[in-house]
Structures are given as structure tokens and as C-alpha cells.
Amino acid sequence: MTLHQNCVGVDICKDWLDIVATRNGQHRRIANSPAAIKQLIAECADAFVVFEATSGCDSALRKALAAAGIPFARVNPRRAREFARAAGFLAKTDKVDACALAEMGCRLDLQASVETTPERRELAELIARRDQIVGDIVREKNRLEQVAALAVRRDIQSHVRLLERRRDKIDAGIAALIARHRELKTADARLREIPGVGPVVAATLLAELPELGQRDRRAIAALAGLAPLASDSGRHRGRRRIWGGRRKVRRALYIAAMHASRRVPSWSEMRARMSAAGKATKTILIAIARKLLVAINAMFRDNVAFAP
């Protein structure tokens, strides 16, 4: 267990960053711009930086920290808020949040986040855009079931066809990006050999889980939100539940588990055994998804072929 001596908490918004360092406890605000962040980086050579995972607003800070080799933790906002309350930071302002994040870095054994390569960031953006288009297709098809007017039905059907062409174009872009980069191409080929892992699942894992092979089995399951959490007290034994983690990764692995549970003999037996014991299908597939992730992680860690 390693606790950091000098931590810098950064509360991020679109236009500025609020910064508090435990070394001196001083608060300041800078612009969320490359020039201002460059100056901040020069002052954080020996620090551990902690900030919340914010969609897009933290990209400039992450890139600068990774380029400078400064360790940082990109923490789940809900976890950060719960720590703040437990530590007595009951008010919520940008300054208070930065203080709480700095304190969180000093008190908890946070693992440094792994910053992705530029091509993986591009891949993540393509995956995000694909998810948006697929969501639009689903919504339009649901609307189609609720209307009877011929003109409206034709308009919805036309829009669905347009969205499907855009989805196919994004799929082609994802395939082309992976083919252009040797690291991604090699990793994608290895993932595609695994039963149940198709092009979308493989691309999602490459984009959203760069820690593959760099964490132990418990940590990698927690990152994906597939680690079962106990809920026991005294004689009460509550149901184990999953919580938190990366939703896109968990969803992709759940889809892969549906197919892998039919094609991998040991997992087929596991599914039948749990089903006979009265376990819900969702519970069974989550358990298989976790086993699948652990197997993939071991495969990347040890540079070996897939073995469930």
C-alpha cells in the first residue's frame, strides 16, 4: 500500500480548473487551456494528481500529465462525493471539491490511471458515436411501432435507413483505424479469437479498457463493474451486487457472455448448473462476463492464447 505525500486535487469544468495542493493547502483557479495547464504541470513534478472522470472536459489535463510522466488518478465522481461526505466535506463548491480530491489522494491507496494512446482515444470517440447512432435507431424503431399514418411511417423508415448507413460508415472507420495501427490490429486479432467476442466488443475493450493485462483479476473486474460486492450484517446475508465501473465495458462483456456461455463447454456447464440452482439469467451472464474478463486479462498479461 502506497500513500502519496503531495497530492493535488483538481476540480474540472469546461472553462476553468480549481486546484488545491496538500503541501500548502492553497486554492487557486486557472483556465482550462493548454497554456495554463502547461504552467500547472511545471509545478506538479513530484505530485500525485486526483480529479473526477468528466466527459471530455479533462482531456487536455490528462494528455499533459501523461506527456510529462506525472501520475494521476481519474476517479469515479460518485466515489469522490461519498469520500468527501465521509471526510467531513459536507458543502459542495468547486474549491471544496478540489480540497476533497486532494485529501482523497493522500488518504486512499489510489492506483494511477492508465492514459490511452491517441489512436485509442480516436477509437473511443468512434465507439461513442456508434453508440449514439444505434440508440437513435432503437428509438426510431420504437416510434414506428406506435404510429399508423403512412406518411409518418415512411418518414421514420427513411430515417432508420439513413442511420443504418451512418452506423455502417462508422463501423468501416473503426475497422480502418484498427487496421492502420499494428498494436491495435494485433490486440484485435487476439480478442476476435475468443468465443463470443465480435468486432464491436473487441473495439470497445481496446478503447475503454487500456488496463488489460496491467491489473490483477480483482482490480480489472472492479474497473468493469463486474466485481460482486457483499451486503452482510450480523446473521443477515444479503445478495451480492455489482456496482459502479465502466458501463460500456460491462455492456460489451455482457453481450459477449451471452454467446460465450453457449460456445465454451465449461461455461455452458456453469450456466446450466446455476440455472438449475434457480439463479436468474442476468446473474448467470454477469458471472460468466466476469470470468471472461479475467481470462482476457490473463491472456494479455502473460501474452498467451485464450483459455477460459
Domain holding 65: CATH number? 3.30.420.40
Instruction: Please state the domain count of the chain.
Output: 3
The verdict on 74 and 97 lying in the same domain is yes
The verdict on 86 and 132 lying in the same domain is no
Residue 85 CB partners (closer than 8 Å, separation 6+): none
Q: 192 lies in a domain?
A: no
Q: 264 lies in a domain?
A: yes
The verdict on 123 and 92 lying in the same domain is no
pLDDT of amino acid 160? 97
The verdict on 99 and 135 lying in the same domain is no
pLDDT of amino acid 162? 97
The verdict on 223 and 298 lying in the same domain is yes
pLDDT of amino acid 26? 85
Range of the domain at 46: 7-107
Q: 197 lies in a domain?
A: no
Q: Which residues of the chain have a pLDDT value below 50?
A: none
The verdict on 37 and 127 lying in the same domain is no
Per residue in 249-264, pLDDT (tens digit) is 999 999 999 999 998 8
CA nearest to 156, candidates 170, 142, 169:
142
pLDDT of amino acid 2? 59
The verdict on 148 and 220 lying in the same domain is no
Dihedral class, residue 245 (left if φ above 0, else alpha if ψ from -120 to 50, else beta): left
107, 134, 161 - which closes a domain: 107
The verdict on 166 and 214 lying in the same domain is no
The verdict on 77 and 135 lying in the same domain is no
Q: 199 lies in a domain?
A: no
pTM of the predicted model, to two decimals?
Answer: 0.81
107, 134, 166 - which closes a domain: 107
Name all contacts of 64-67 with Cβ < 8 Å and 24+ positions apart. 64/34, 64/37, 64/38, 64/40, 65/41, 65/115, 66/115
The verdict on 213 and 297 lying in the same domain is yes
Q: 188 lies in a domain?
A: no
107, 127, 150 - which closes a domain: 107
255: Cα within 13 Å, side-chain hemisphere: 13
